[in-house]
Structure 1
Amino acid sequence: MDKLGKAIRLLRHQNGWRQGDVAKRLEISIPAFSKIETGVTDLNLSRLNQIAKVFNLTIVQLLYYSETEEIKEPTDEVKVISEKILQREDEIIHLQKKVIQLYEQLYQN
């Protein structure tokens, strides 16, 4: 069992959930979830995000948990980086809106 799978299993046990409970939340089969826990299935970022959300964690916390086997509050550095990421996401959305507006102006004339 790989570290991440083991951490997911431990989190599931800490919540008192069965594999079926988590599988249902992830909208996958129990055998598919079992493969995640045992490390047979490699996780993509989307699935990792879904799993983190099921346990009310961020991806960073989930990955950190898999290394330490205990959930800790994010450090100040992680908080600062997370805030910067959110700001950048807002900037990207703003720029996307501008591109759409310019595109519409270009093709309306």
Structure 2
Amino acid sequence: MKLLGKKIRLLRHQRGWSQEDVAKQLDISIPAFSKIETGITDVNLSRLEQISALFEMSVVQLLTYNDPEQEIKNASDLEVANKKLHDRDAEVIELQKKVIELYEEIRNSKSFG
């Protein structure tokens, strides 16, 4: 449930709401809401529906929500990793060519010797 709490905190921050703002809208105490965000308190389905409605999304959307900024960072990291992999592949191909050339040189020198 800690992941859910992080998602709720992120959504709250994106809207510029304080814990007090959300706690009032959920009709719970600030410490009770804080425990939801930190994952100390498990959220029942009723509370989950209430929270998702507050953020104008379905329960499924809330549970599967990912930070768009984090997704962009992950995509960027993936692009960097793909480029490094491509560069390494090119290096391996060049090394393979050199090995083949050396093999050919050795084979040719033995046939002339």
Settle same-fold status: TM greater than 0.5: yes
Q: Which runs of 4+ in 1 moved over 4 A?
A: none
Which amino acid counterpart does residue 62 of structure 1 have in structure 2? L
* Partner Cα distance (1:53, 1:42) in 2: 18
Name the structure 2 match of 1:14. 14
- After superposition, the C-alpha distances for 1:6-62 in whole angstroms (9 at most, x for unaligned) are 000000000000000000000000000000000000011000000001100100000
Name the structure 2 match of 1:78. none
Taking CA–CA contacts closer than 8 Å with sequence separation of 6 or more, which of the two structures ends up with the larger relative contact order? 1
Give identity over the alignment, percent: 68
TM-score, reference length from structure 1 = 0.60
Q: What displacement does 1:2 show?
A: 1.1
Structure with max Cα Rg: 2
Q: What displacement does 1:69 show?
A: 2.7
* Partner Cα distance (1:5, 1:23) in 2: 14
CA RMSD in angstroms, aligned pairs only: 1.2
Unaligned runs of 5+ in 1: 71-109
TM-score, reference length from structure 2 = 0.58
